[in-house]
Chain A
Amino acid sequence: MLPGWLIVVTSFGYLSLLFAIAYFADRRGRQGHPVVNNPTVYALSIAVYCTAWTFYGSVGRAVSSGAGFLPIYLGPTLMFALGWVVIRKILRISKVHRTTSIADFIASRYGKSHLLGGLVTIIAVVGIMPYIALQLKAVASSFTVVLHYPDLSGAAAVTSLSPLRDTALWVAALMAAFSILFGTRHIDATEHHQGMVLAIAFESVVKLVAFTAVGLFVTYGIFDGFGDLFTQAAADPRIAPLLTLAPAGNDWLPLTGLAMITMVCLPRQFQVTVVENVEESHLNKAIWLFPLYLFLINVFVLPIAFAGLLRFPLGTVDHDMFVLALPMAEASPGLALLAFVGGLSAATGMVIVETVALSTMLCNDLVMPMLLRFAWLHLAEHKDLSGLLLTIRRTAIIIILAMGYLFFRFIGESYALVAIGLMSFAAAAQFGPAIIGGIYWKGGSRRGALAGISAGFLVWIYTLLLPSFARSDWLPMSFIESGPWGIELLKPYALLGLTGFSSVSHSLIWSLFFNVAIFVGVSLLDRQSTIERIQAALFVDIFRHAGSSTSTGLLHGRVSIGDLRAMAERFLGRDRARDAFSEYARRRGRNIEPGGQADGELVQFVERRLSGAIGAASARVMIASTVKGEGVGFEEIMQILDETSQVLEYSRQLEQKSRELEKASGDLKAANARLTELDRMKDDFLSTVTHELRTPLTSIRSFSEILHDSPDLELGERQQFLTIIIRESERLTRLINQVLDLSRIESGRMKWVMTEVDLVEVVEHAVASMRHLFEEKQVGLKVFKPEVVPMVRADRDQLIQLVINLLSNAQKFVPSGTGEVAVEVTCGRNTLLVSVADNGPGIPYHEQDKIFERFHQVRSGKTGNPLGSGLGLAICRGIVEHLGGRLWVESTPGYGATFFFSLPVIGAEAHA
């Protein structure tokens, strides 16, 4: 017989022990000797995953589905094998960004969105509050069962007890007290709740010990070891099917996946794994220690289930209570009490962590944003808001537990509550795509996450929650059996005709399908805002940014350090704000004057500190309201979006390179065109030269042949032919000399004999040597010249040649008899100008530039025959330009032409 008082005393004694442990850990922590800074404690605290639903419910599931209960524990094992990749990343992000909860994490990732944080909070509360009720029910049920010891069948329905005699109420009240005392001691949620964590770790030990004790007792006390137990079970036709995979059905894979996702999606798992994590390296041990814990607590599930089935006639004992019933049936009161305490520890551990996690979410992501938005003026009057924050959290804890208790009282026996275990898993799984997508895919947008989570949650409501209402008789059963309005495709357990899965797997498949599809789809079509892009980059590239690039201040604006500190004090409290600022000053190695301007780093530091207190989204609003001219500098974004900026920089360089390349290729093209032109000119030159050479050579050869072949030619004729030969030879020589001269001038190999030259004397010399030719052709030649001219520096012979060339040119073109040529020398300011004017036919305008090119021959209007070699003017221009002067022509066709050349006088450079 177990007296009622003994059970009550044991229960409350156990809970008192929890308080003592938590108190001890908190005090040691305050004294600077943290006891939770230990990987084993960390791994054990993660085992809060195993709730009363595990402790009692695993056996129940094993009875109905054999090995089908295992995926719920294999999933986390696989997830922790991936822990180094996934969980470590979430851990690092949360530490850097001071994440306080899963809602905060998602809100922060998607641009510090209030809306998203609120949505996640609401879904978490809706999905998980009934789960808390389930824990309370487990406590009440197990208490009732133990109370009736050793009578197994007389347990009354737990909800029919009067509230005052109801253990669940007292347990709930104590849990509320515990959560308030040790879960909301101070408001910086990232300063770990050491007392709570140690108590949870202790509870994990207790439930493992209790369950294992019962398992050993059943296996080796009632039966003769595993072999005996399983052999008997295999022989029993009721049990034999449970030894196969068949009862697990198609749920194996979906449930494994579900359990994997929930490791990062359940608020309590996020709380212990991420928020309460002291050191990242602790994860290393948890990677194998937590799976080991799951393994150990599951070893005896099947033996206990089969033993219960073998021991009790069908239907006499609730399968979920086998853990308690077996020790009781074997008259082992101590063990029954231990099992009860184990179940109690599993339930309380979950309740404590879950309420703390949910209260933080409610406060930071739902209540505070509303207060800040709707009642900002009212809040502004408060000097210290840290008290308000704590009050909100504590109230939230009380409300959550009160609602949990009411749920249990009023719908405790309904299907809706019993089925809530996996249902709430499926609800939490809706956060999975946003979280996993958020840490690996920068493209995930706020609207995408909002739409995805909403869609998944709605599908969850439709395929799990509403049918469970129907099963609880709150909705007509026809809703399940034939679908709403009789539409078969909308049947909530066979949506779009999908069958063959359990309701949870079915719901999970559809809700995650819509969740992921809409999240990805909307994100792809969406344009992220600046803050979203920044947060996305910070989250996804956390290992690259941590430590260095986060030093860039994101907030541009002006705020005095005093204002910033005043705001921090309002939320953190005076002492914590002072500590934070002095810590910052110490780290930065400089003093912070309250009157000075806060730099971006300090603003960011304060924002992160505030995030730890009121969540990222609210912290953002507060900072933005304080910092004037808040905005994000373009350079900062580029620095933060390291990758993007590198890519941009790279593409900019590429563009520049391609522009340079284009330019170079343009230059090359021009050079090529120039070369082709030069080549053409060379060919022209050669062909012209050979042509010019051939003409006199042909006539020399023909006349020589005539002389050679006709010895009897008359002397007069012979003399005439010889004259022609001589003249042509002279022409040939002149031509060759000209070609050589030109080539020397152009290549700069001409030998110049520079002296001081009197230009008038040069002109007179040239005119004198040409006068004979002019008279011969009956062309008038006049010279106009000043008395004295300044000297020029030049090669005298070349200069004479130049004037002769111009004169001979003029003589060629003027008509015989009426032709006149005038040479004039004039003094300019710094130059001497020589002009040679004729009254010939003139030069067409389009020819006036070309005549100075080599071999450009002006053809006679009448005969079309060239009148010169085409080299004379080219040589002239070469000479003039070498002497620093200019040669040009002015002509009106039909009225003669005038060639000018100018030469600088000596000393002109000094006057210039």
Chain B
Amino acid sequence: MAAHETDQTEPMAQAAQGYLNDRLVALAALGALLFHPLFVGLFDAPVLVMGIPLLFLYLFGVWVLLIIALAVTTETAPPATIERDDIGSGSF
């Protein structure tokens, strides 16, 4: 029974890691897009929002949202299945 369980959790964990991989890449792509000068330029106006320049509000706002998204994505992912010993010792 126990063996049966590990057989099933292993691929599931791997699949979950695959999702994590895809989501992080997607976030990086989104970040690259939002920080692209063309996109940033849209918010480049001499306007103060609550006393803060729109440009800075946009840049720092997107930045912090990206970090929150990264945190949520990695922290909700299942723990990695790699054992420390397996990689630390040169895996011969």
Name A's B-contacting residues (CB within 8 A): 67, 70, 74, 77-78, 80-85, 92, 95-98, 225-228, 230-231, 234, 240, 243-246, 252-253, 256, 279-281, 284-285, 287-289, 291-292, 295, 299, 302, 546-547, 550-551, 583, 587, 601, 604-605, 608-609
Contacts and interface: CB of A to CB of B under 8 A. Distances in A.
A98 B90 contact: yes
B49 to A, nearest CB: 10
Contact of B48 (A95, A234, A604, A609): A234
Contacts of A92: 87
B84 interface: yes
Interface of B: 20-21, 24-25, 27-28, 31-32, 35-37, 40-41, 44, 46, 48, 50-53, 55-56, 59-60, 63-64, 66-68, 70-71, 74-75, 77, 79-80, 82, 84, 86-92
A546 B91 contact: yes
Contact of A604 (B52, B79, B92): B92
Contacts of A609: 90
A240 B63 CA distance: 23
B44 A245 contact: yes
B67 A253 contact: no
Contacts of B68: 288
A608 B20 CA distance: 31
Contacts of A97: 90
5 contacts: A96-B91, A97-B90, A289-B71, A546-B86, A583-B89
Nearest to B25: A85
Contacts of B92: 550-551, 587, 601, 604-605, 608
A302 B24 CA distance: 29
A547 B37 contact: no
A280 B55 CA distance: 37
Given A96-B90, A98-B90, A587-B89, A85 B24 contact: yes
A39 to B, nearest CB: 10
Given A74-B63, A77-B63, A230-B48, A281 B27 contact: no
A608 B71 CA distance: 35
B24 A287 contact: yes
| Chain B contact residues, majority secondary structure | helix
B79 A281 contact: yes
B82 A252 contact: no
Contacts of A231: 48, 51
| Chain A contact residues, majority secondary structure | helix
Given A226-B51, A295-B63, A280 B80 contact: yes
A120 B60 CA distance: 36
Nearest to A228: B51
Contacts, number: 136
Given A279-B84, A288-B74, A77 B31 contact: yes
B48 A84 contact: no
A605 B24 CA distance: 35
Contact of B55 (A67, A82, A98): A67
A281 B80 contact: yes
Contacts of A67: 55-56, 59
A230 B51 CA distance: 6
Given A92-B87, A95-B87, A234-B53, A81 B66 contact: yes
A92 B82 CA distance: 11
Contact of A295 (B44, B60, B77, B79): B60
B59 A70 contact: yes
Given A77-B66, A83-B24, A231-B51, A547 B60 contact: no
Contacts of A85: 21, 24-25
Nearest to A66: B55
A253 B82 CA distance: 36
A97 B44 CA distance: 48
A512 B3 CA distance: 52
Nearest to A601: B92
Contacts of B28: 78, 81-82
Contacts of A246: 44
Contact of A291 (B41, B66, B90): B66
A231 B46 CA distance: 11
Contacts of B53: 230, 234, 243
Contacts of A256: 35
Given A96-B91, A295-B67, A605-B92, A243 B46 contact: yes
Given A280-B87, A550-B91, A227 B52 contact: yes
B51 A244 contact: no
Contacts of B20: 84
Nearest to B64: A295
B58 to A, nearest CB: 10
A825 B80 CA distance: 97
Nearest to B79: A281
A240 B50 contact: no
B71 A288 contact: yes
Question: Which of A226, A228, A246, A288 has the most CB atoms of chain B within a 10 A radius of its CB?
Answer: A288
A95 B82 CA distance: 13
A874 to B, nearest CB: 72
Given A77-B67, A231-B48, A284-B80, A243 B24 contact: no
